[in-house]
């Protein structure tokens, strides 16, 4: 049975059809990438899956159970969490306190929240800064703190919304390594990114969204050679918009 399944997911905001009849399934242990031009509906699809928005139509199943319409808190309790595209840690709290919020209030009953939070900081290589405030962090470290926050909820499946966005080469490499470690620890990952090299290197399969619709799915190699995808996204303008060249 698929770990995550979306059936005919649709979301309209007034006149804007942000997600248009999207169906997919992801098996336990898989890492799947989601790409597409700006405004394609990627973040909205993630919000439908994690209960931030209720779909206009369609259904979401986690482990065979319908989770459509449940709150993000309840969905987290069932083991599915998402990072935020725009990272906003609590500035007045230390990194350990920030990660502890995930462990304590994320929805899953973690026995020793602070230990779990510290473990998560170790995992993302921020434990040496556990007692500092996030305003001292680089963009890459902030993204890793965001990953630690969701890791501390002890999830089965993690959705990453642009965790490699805006990073320099070294920071991107650190995130790619980290995603590899998270995969190895047995978690299922669904990630959005415009940084093609990072996304293609960690994903076993890639979905492509354009104008709210899934226009292609396949292995990274199949997607990179798909004419429609090259035209919609990987080719010239969209690639440049996203700060990456085709095949980057
Ligand atoms: N809360 C909202 N209210 C109204 N319109 C919205 C809302 N959220 C998203 N949209 C619209 O839905 C469409 C899809 O937006 P979304 O943020 O999902 O795109 P995206 O693929 O994540 O883009 P990006 O790559 O820039 O992050 C856009 O036209 C956007 O303006
Ligand atoms: Mg987005």
**What proportion of the chain, given as a percentage, has pLDDT over 70?**
94
Ligand 2 center to 112 CA (angstroms):
33
Q: Which atom of ligand 1 is nearest to the CA of 14?
A: 4
Asked if residue 27 and residue 135 are part of one domain, the reply reads no
Q: Which of 16-30, 149-163, 226-240 has the lowest mean pLDDT?
A: 226-240
Asked if residue 162 and residue 150 are part of one domain, the reply reads no
Asked if residue 243 and residue 168 are part of one domain, the reply reads yes
Burial of residue 190 (number of CB atoms within 10 Å: 0-12, 13-18, 19+): buried
Ligand 1 center to 214 CA (angstroms):
15
SS3 148: helix
141 touches 129 (CB < 8 A):
yes
Mean pLDDT across 139-167: 95
Ligand 2 center to 104 CA (angstroms):
27
Residue 16 burial (CB count, 10 A): 11
Look up the domain containing 26 and give its range.
1-79+157-248
CA–CA separation, 133 and 135 (whole Å): 6
Does 110 have pLDDT greater than 80? no
Mean pLDDT across 107-136: 91
Whether residue 238 has its Cβ less than 6 Å from ligand 1: no
Asked if residue 184 and residue 130 are part of one domain, the reply reads no
Whether residue 41 has its Cβ less than 6 Å from ligand 1: yes
CA–CA separation, 222 and 233 (whole Å): 14
Structure-token pair, residue 154: 């002890």
Does 116 have pLDDT greater than 90? yes
Mean pLDDT across 101-109: 77
Mean pLDDT across 228-242: 69
Please report the pLDDT score of residue 212 as a whole number: 98
Burial of residue 205 (number of CB atoms within 10 Å: 0-12, 13-18, 19+): middle
Please report the pLDDT score of residue 173 as a whole number: 94
Please report the pLDDT score of residue 236 as a whole number: 54
Does 239 have pLDDT greater than 90? no
Q: Which of 19-23, 45-49, 165-169 has the lowest mean pLDDT?
A: 165-169
- Give the residue whose CA is nearest to atom 27 of ligand 1: 38
Nearest to 248 by CA among 177, 179, 198, 209: 198
Asked if residue 242 and residue 169 are part of one domain, the reply reads yes
Asked if residue 94 and residue 62 are part of one domain, the reply reads no
Asked if residue 167 and residue 72 are part of one domain, the reply reads yes
Ligand 1, from 33, 40, 193, 209: best to mutate by most atoms within 8 Å of Cβ?
A: 40
Whether residue 13 has its Cβ less than 6 Å from ligand 1: yes
Number of domains present in the structure of the chain: 2
Ligand 1 center to 10 CA (angstroms):
13
Asked if residue 174 and residue 69 are part of one domain, the reply reads yes
Asked if residue 181 and residue 58 are part of one domain, the reply reads yes
Whether residue 53 has its Cβ less than 6 Å from ligand 1: no
Structure-token pair, residue 92: 């007045």
Asked if residue 139 and residue 121 are part of one domain, the reply reads yes
Residues comprising the chain, all counted: 248
Domain final residue, candidates 155, 186, 201: 155
Ligand positioned closest to the Cα atom of 22? 1
Query: Where residue 179 sits, what CATH number does that domain have?
Result: 3.40.50.300
Please report the pLDDT score of residue 74 as a whole number: 94
Whether residue 212 has its Cβ less than 6 Å from ligand 1: no
Domain final residue, candidates 155, 180, 202: 155
Ligand 1, from 14, 22, 36, 44: best to mutate by most atoms within 8 Å of Cβ?
A: 44
DSSP label at 98?
A: H
Whether residue 79 has its Cβ less than 6 Å from ligand 1: no
Residue 57 burial (CB count, 10 A): 14
Which residues fall within 8 angstroms of residue 236, CB to CB, at 6 or more apart?
Answer: 246
Whether residue 47 has its Cβ less than 6 Å from ligand 1: no
User: Between 238 and 1, whose confidence is greater?
Assistant: 1
Asked if residue 71 and residue 1 are part of one domain, the reply reads yes
Does 247 have pLDDT greater than 60? no
Please report the pLDDT score of residue 135 as a whole number: 93
pLDDT band at 107 (very low <50, low <70, confident <90, very high): low
Q: Which of 17-21, 150-154, 188-192 has the lowest mean pLDDT?
A: 150-154
- What mean pLDDT is reported for the chain? 92
Domain final residue, candidates 155, 176, 208: 155
Asked if residue 175 and residue 130 are part of one domain, the reply reads no
Please report the pLDDT score of residue 238 as a whole number: 42
């Amino acid at each position: 049975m698929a770990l995550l399944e979306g059936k005919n997911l649709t979301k309209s905001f007034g006149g804007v059809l942000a997600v248009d009849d999207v169906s997919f399934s992801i098996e336990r242990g898989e890492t799947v990438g989601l790409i597409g031009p700006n405004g394609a509906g990627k973040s909205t699809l993630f919000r439908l899956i994690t209960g931030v928005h209720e779909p206009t139509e369609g259904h979401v199943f986690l482990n065979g159970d319908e989770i459509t319409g449940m709150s993000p808190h309840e969905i987290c309790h069932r083991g599915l969490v998402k990072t935020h595209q725009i990272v906003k840690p609590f500035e007045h709290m230390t990194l350990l306190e920030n990660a502890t919020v995930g462990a304590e209030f994320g929805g899953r009953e973690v026995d020793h929240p602070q230990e779990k939070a510290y473990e998560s900081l170790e995992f993302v290589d921020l434990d040496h800064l556990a007692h500092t405030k996030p305003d001292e962090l680089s963009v890459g470290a902030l993204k890793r703190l965001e990953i630690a926050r969701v890791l501390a909820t002890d999830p089965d499946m993690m959705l990453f919304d642009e965790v490699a966005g805006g990073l320099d080469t070294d920071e991107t490499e650190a995130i790619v390594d980290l995603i590899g470690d998270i995969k190895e620890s047995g978690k299922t990952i669904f990630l959005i990114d415009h940084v093609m090299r990072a996304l293609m290197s960690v994903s076993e399969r890639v979905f492509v969204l354009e104008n709210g619709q899934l226009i292609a799915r396949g292995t990274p190699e199949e997607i990179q050679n798909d004419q429609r995808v090259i035209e919609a996204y990987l080719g010239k303008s969209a690639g440049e918009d996203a700060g990456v060249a085709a095949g980057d």
